[in-house]
Amino acid sequence: MSVFVALTFSGVALGAIYFLAASGLSLIYGLMDILNFAHGLFMTLGAYAAWDVATHVPVSWGAPFVFVVALVAAVAGGALAAGLTEVLVIRPLYGRPVSQILVTIGLDLAVTGLLLGGFGSNSLSVPVPLWMMEASHIGGVNLPNADFVALLGGVVILVALEWFLRRTRYGIIIRAGVENRAMVSALGINVARAFSVVFVIGGAMAGVAGLLYAVVFSGDLISPTQGDSLLIFAFIVVVIGGLGSIRGSAIAALMVGLVQDYTNFYWGSHSGMAEIGNLSVVLLLALVLEWRPRGLFGSTL
């Protein structure tokens, strides 16, 4: 029973990371109708920004403070990358979805290549507090402390997004701009600026996802291609949950994380198929689309 509890908690933590990665994608598509294939790049750049800042902060300041600074750097790195991408790359291509897809794929490949050239293919270690590498003994089960951080991050982002979209002026403007951009613009509201805010928020969440994935599931290591690997699961989560549905992405992320963890342990460890969990996620995607082609929660926020 303790093994099942530990697996469940690990799957939920993995699902929280997937939600952080997918929420920005879902937000950008749902509000702006843009499939951004450079989203994985935002995760990678956020992780590298965290590494760069953390390695320049004096160790004497304490590991917890260094990690908080690294987290802020990940948010800033992802947000800056997303903001520049929206202004310089996406904005001139509004209304041209094929061009947007091709350009964002090209941008991802180009910058990933630059990272490989600059840092090499070797992974870099992100400094983390010692307690995050330890486990807490709860109810007879050892649960990794890093998983608690991932779960907390996912919950905070979900609540913050719902509050932003439903309760703030900017959130209301953004949702209104989606429904009727011309009318909102006629009222003197700068919809383009609001959409830029959406892109920046999505990039900020991607940066957090990139750092936490490295800390929780990659042994504190980051690499130039880690964002692309995480992007695959983020797209699967968005499609299962329903394009544009934040709540759907949250539920789908939990499903994907749990299915992947259960399958890897109960089937993969006995069959010797290390990647069976990835296959199970693809099968889950196929089953959901067969049953509900629009995903679990349609395509609305």
Q: Domain limits of the chain?
A: 2-224
- Ramachandran category for residue 215: left, alpha or beta (phi over 0 → left; psi -120 to 50 → alpha): alpha
Res 180: pLDDT: 65
User: Per DSSP, which regions of 211-295 are E strands?
Assistant: 221-222
Query: Contact 201/245 with Cβ under 8 angstroms?
Result: no
Query: Contact 203/47 with Cβ under 8 angstroms?
Result: no
Query: Quick one: which H or E segment has residue 76?
Result: helix 63-85
pLDDT (tens, 9 = 90+) of the chain, 301 residues, equals 678 888 899 899 999 999 999 988 887 776 677 778 999 999 999 999 999 998 888 777 777 888 899 999 999 999 999 999 998 988 888 778 888 889 999 999 999 999 988 887 778 888 788 888 888 888 778 888 888 999 999 999 999 988 888 888 777 777 676 566 667 667 677 777 777 888 899 899 999 999 999 888 776 788 888 888 889 999 999 999 987 788 889 999 999 999 998 888 887 665 555 578 788 999 999 999 888 888 888 654 4
Res 256: pLDDT: 94
Res 264: pLDDT: 86
pTM of the model: 0.89
Res 301: pLDDT: 44
Res 43: pLDDT: 94
The token pair at 195 is 């959409």
Strand partners, 142: 137
Angstrom distances, CA of residue 280 to CA of 101, 122, 153, 195, 290: 27, 29, 26, 36, 15
| 238: amino acid identity, one letter | V
Q: Say whether 198 sits in a helix, a strand or coil.
A: helix
Res 45: pLDDT: 94
Res 25: pLDDT: 85
Res 268: pLDDT: 67
C-alpha 199/C-alpha 204 separation (Å) is 9
Res 74: pLDDT: 95
